[in-house]
Amino acid sequence: MHISYHGHSVVKIETQGKTILIDPFITGNGKTDLNAEDVQADYILLTHGHNDHVGDTVAIAKRTNAQVIAIAELATYLGWKGLNVHPMSIGGAYTFDFGKVKLTQAFHGSSYTEEESKQIVYTGMPAGLLLTIEGKTIYHAGDTALYSDMKLLSDYHPDVAFLPIGDNFTMGPEDAAIAASWINAKLVVPIHYDTFPVIKQDPHEFVQSLKGIEGKVLQPGEGLDL
Residue 36 — pLDDT band, cuts 50, 70, 90?
A: very high
| Rounded Cα distance, 224 and 15, in Å | 12
Top CATH class, 2-211 = alpha beta
pTM: 0.97
Contact 48, 27 (CB under 8 A): no
Domain parsing of the chain, residue ranges: 2-211
| Strand, coil or helix: 197 | helix
CA dihedral over 161, 49, 14, 221, signed as positive or negative: negative
121-165 pLDDT, tens per residue?
Answer: 999 999 999 999 999 999 999 999 999 999 999 999 999 999 999
